[in-house]
Structure 1
């Protein structure tokens, strides 16, 4: 596939927040390749292997974590980017980094941290991704953060589209290094966002079926899923049910990916520059109207049958309690954090509370549970429901 005129160009990057020398000695890589490599080598990325995707602290090793989810998003994102002639390295880097701001226990942990920071601006995992990569993860001698390219940071800031009311964390970073928050991001960032939707819609189905929270008969209430299933039954009449279920997930991903590619190609025909992408009336790289409606129906189904399942919500409540109690302990006795986190605790609010939340947000599920046990002597039972 030839390179699209609308692709992000690493040779025309807007640069990085901090100037830094020495990069020429570390291999012939583009700016976006360096972004990807900095993400992969970061501590924050490695921690994703221990953070909840759907199921909290699953006992089985076949269930997805934030790390495996991010790798699957990157595979889907690169496939779409290549078909559209976009920059694959930038797309991959955005996909790999998009969930780095998630705290332990997924959305349950996020709710606890948001409650803890209500008087100080709240907590938002997407803004925390930028905060982590621009300020907290600091392996360099000359500057804070990973010093990623402007295009990388813009794409992460606008993972869900233009931002008109930025969270305090994002607003602070945008004041330091403006990211044009009100405009649509690059096509690469749009591809990363829709690849995220495709991955978690379908892989959460896979995990939900494996765990027994979802039943095939219920899933087949969705007519577009039933159509795919009937075709699979005709194609593989003698295959095991488990194998056909995995075929269903693959087919659904393929249908969604092909829809994005064909829809984006059609929309791109009427756009002549990256500036027009930024001012377009909506996402250029996204679902067709028909697929958008189907995907909304699928999400509604998943919330009803999986994410808000009574077993899930009970487990989430216990996980939320763990995070809330960690915050309460560190607020009362900051020395419990230990090391530089305790030593560098700001004296004034809101910086003090935000510092404590930064510490907790970086934890894996297992580390949070270990810290809870260390402080309180035990961990609530039932923190894993699969």
Structure 2
């Protein structure tokens, strides 16, 4: 598809913090955004997503989603939308793949525990931690910290949820070092990555919730738009097993949302002639139509009530939160429990010391955190796995 005039241009990107232009910039016929994507995929932080919570904590079943599979699904949806709109697919994919790199073990339960631990030291935010991860913690290169991604990728990650009017300490520090225009809307590619995230977890979490028995079809069908979609699926495949019909329902929902985003965004950007005009619009341009947005809000509310806040989920999350809190307490009391490489980089004073301890914990997988607390306290935590 022809590149749209409002698409990000890899030949005119916003630069790199450390301006790397050596042999690494000439390895193969890749654009700047393709190199960014590859740096993310080859990072240790990306690999660890395979063992980080998406919905269910440390699931034993092979078929439940993790942060890694979720990120891959977001990238697939994001590329489809970007291609249809004539946007840069590689920038969109890089943003989709990296958007959850800052999540600590056990998802939002782990984030809450680190937020409590750092309450006197500026707090903790997984989105800001994503930037901290790719700009300061991942250090595979000999001459600079971080992955040295383009400004366009860093800006899109910082504004995953839109402009940031009051950045916390982590984002403020990084913005001071490499300004990201935090108070402005990002590129269309970044906006597409954000809505692709919503589409992926709205629908794939239904699939996992049904598989685990935390959701029931009858409950889902109390939402009229899902009931209509279900009747349409049954009519098309009257003899198919229910399990296959459920997966068809999820596919239909994803397709409907994707098509809605493409149509609505195309109408919103009609007449725009540059990336600068996208930013000058001062509002979100890529997203759901008002009607679909209302349906999506209803679906989210349903999922929070029936799945994310399910009593078993809450109980497991509390136990997971305790694991992270105990890990932080142990490392804060005796840094010798940390690997030597992390001990060497540990500042002497707070708040910097507390923040680096949080960096170490945030990078852990669920499995590593469970093993670490068992090693330190002599007992493996129980009741974390609920599927």
**Cα deviation digits, residues 60-91 of structure 1 (max 9, x gap):** 01000000000000000000000000000000
Residue 4 of structure 2 is matched in structure 1 by 4
Deviates more, 1:235-244 or 1:280-289: 280-289
Contact 2:17 2:151 in 1 (8 A): yes
Q: What is the Cα deviation at residue 24 of structure 1?
A: 4.5
Matches within 5 A, 1:292-311: 292-311=293-312
Contact 2:199 2:257 in 1 (8 A): yes
Residue 38 of structure 1 is matched in structure 2 by 39
Partners of 2:4 and 2:339 in 1: CA distance:
50
Partners of 1:283 and 1:138 in 2: CA distance:
34
**Cα deviation digits, residues 38-66 of structure 1 (max 9, x gap):** 00000000000010000001110100000
Aligned-partner SS, 2:30: coil
Partners of 2:131 and 2:245 in 1: CA distance:
40
Residue 90 of structure 1 is matched in structure 2 by 91
Partners of 1:24 and 1:382 in 2: CA distance:
48
Residue 75 of structure 2 is matched in structure 1 by 74
Moved beyond 4 Å, runs of 4+: none
Partners of 2:377 and 2:75 in 1: CA distance:
39
Residue 15 of structure 2 is matched in structure 1 by 15
Count of matched residue pairs: 386
Q: Pick closer, same or farther for the CA change 1:24–1:347 going to 2, 3 Å.
A: closer
Residue 52 of structure 1 is matched in structure 2 by 53
Q: Pick closer, same or farther for the CA change 1:31–1:25 going to 2, 3 Å.
A: closer
Q: What is the Cα deviation at residue 96 of structure 1?
A: 0.2
Aligned-partner SS, 2:346: coil
Partners of 1:277 and 1:75 in 2: CA distance:
24
Q: What is the Cα deviation at residue 334 of structure 1?
A: 0.5
Partners of 2:380 and 2:260 in 1: CA distance:
45
Q: What is the Cα deviation at residue 281 of structure 1?
A: 4.3
Partners of 1:330 and 1:270 in 2: CA distance:
56
TM-score, normalised to structure 2, is 0.99
Aligned-partner SS, 2:380: coil
Residue 196 of structure 2 is matched in structure 1 by 195
Partners of 2:45 and 2:341 in 1: CA distance:
17
**Cα deviation digits, residues 214-271 of structure 1 (max 9, x gap):** 0001001111111100000100000000000000000000000000000011011142
**Cα deviation digits, residues 84-140 of structure 1 (max 9, x gap):** 000000000000000000000000000000000000110000000000000000000
Q: What is the Cα deviation at residue 339 of structure 1?
A: 1.5
Q: What is the Cα deviation at residue 356 of structure 1?
A: 0.3
Residue 338 of structure 2 is matched in structure 1 by 337
Contact 2:184 2:282 in 1 (8 A): no
What value does the CA root-mean-square deviation take over the aligned residues? Answer: 0.8
**Cα deviation digits, residues 288-315 of structure 1 (max 9, x gap):** 0001111000000000000000000000
Contact 2:373 2:381 in 1 (8 A): no
Task: Identify unmatched segments of 5+ residues in structure 2.
Answer: none
Q: What is the Cα deviation at residue 279 of structure 1?
A: 2.9
Q: Pick closer, same or farther for the CA change 1:225–1:121 going to 2, 3 Å.
A: same
Q: What is the Cα deviation at residue 378 of structure 1?
A: 1.2
Q: What is the Cα deviation at residue 361 of structure 1?
A: 0.2
Contact 2:6 2:277 in 1 (8 A): no
Q: What is the Cα deviation at residue 330 of structure 1?
A: 0.3
